[in-house]
Amino acid sequence: MVMALFAATAALYAIASGLYVHFLAKGSEGGASWASRVLFGAVACHLGFIATNWLVAGNEPTADIHQALAVLSLTVVLIFLLTARRRQRLQVLGAFITPVTLLLFLGAAFRRGVGPVPEEVRSALVPVHVGTNVLGLAAFAFAFAAGAAYVIQERQLRQKRLGGVFQRLPALDVLDTIGLRSVLVGFPLLTVGVVTGTMWAVQLTSSPLGLSASQGFGLLAWLLFAAVLLLRVAAGWRGRKAAIGAMLGFLMTMVVLAGYLARDALGGAG
């Protein structure tokens, strides 16, 4: 049952991704409507997957990286649906959000290769660590989507292609504002996630200096987002540079997640 729900959810996300990309490229309003309907179906299956995985299989949402990815991907798509419902113009961002959602959700499929976290450490730090990281990464996913849309929109404008994709994407100032607000929301959450993750690592290893490669990339992602915010405030950094900075920061967080998945698959080595 769990695997059937997982497969159905992944398939619906893939279909929705294709429909949203088609809507961005061709502008079919019927395609956008169908994309939204399929995405709602994916969310329903996704909720069923998480509930069944928890209540039947006994995998709590904060149990490990895989369960956290299932929750993270659901959080991203729910925020998108709520945002697009309030502002129809932002529906086209589904072309960037749904592929990210699918990728994150597929990460939940990898089998766990390490033992459970000790209860005394897990009960104190893991829920906070996972919760803040989930919300922070969801915000950064929106910063990535807005940044990617900004880069495309600006290129269309520079090349004076003022029809098609240009008309379907939101205005540059709207995309820039979405990117800024997303980073402003995500950065404090990432900060809490980095701090709690470091505390967790110290308790598990009894060494304040033993940062893994994944934790190192996490710190680099934090520094990159900090630099984006600082340059926005101190140097008036806006537009394309800020969009690319946010995109790179999100990709860095994806490297961190990939590192955790790889380490988990190898049984915690490295």
In whole angstroms, give the CA distance from residue 201 to residue 126: 11
88-105 core/surface letters (b: 16 or more CB in 10 A; e: else): eebbbbbbbbbbbbbebb
Question: Which carries the bigger pLDDT value, residue 217 or residue 185?
Answer: 185
For the chain, the residue count is 270
pLDDT by residue (tens digit) across 143-174? 999 999 999 999 998 888 878 888 889 999 99
Does pLDDT of 245 surpass 80?
yes
| Percent of residues, the chain, with pLDDT higher than 90 | 35
Least Cα distance to 186 among 143, 150, 231, 147 occurs for: 143
Q: Number of C-alpha atoms within 13 angstroms, CB side, residue 104?
A: 28
For residue 114, the SS3 value is coil
Does pLDDT of 54 surpass 70?
yes
In whole angstroms, give the CA distance from residue 193 to residue 100: 21
Residue in the block written with tokens 């790179």: 248
